[in-house]
Amino acid sequence: MIKLLDFWAPWCIPCQAMASVIEELEKELKGKVEIEKINVDEDQAKASKYGVMSIPTFIFLKDGKEIGRKTGVVSKSDLIQLLKQ
């Protein structure tokens, strides 16, 4: 299964803009894609592990290996396209 890591913070305006997109993806892709939301203020170790320097950052994993990454505000269709690869 593909996993989407969503690195965000509550004070981040672009992250807030992406929240509804991520919620829609969670509903639409339930059972197909696992989405993990990671608050970088609360889990700095995981952000460091994945080399996240700015937020929002979306990292796509397949079998635990990174297969893609997007940073900043991204359209829902772009995220879906990356998930289909």
Q: How far apart are CA 44 and CA 54, in angstroms?
A: 12
Tokens 């892709």 found at: 29
Residue 6: which of 74, 84, 77 has the closest Cα? 74
End-to-end CA separation in angstroms for the chain? 12
Active site residues: 12, 15
SS3 24: helix
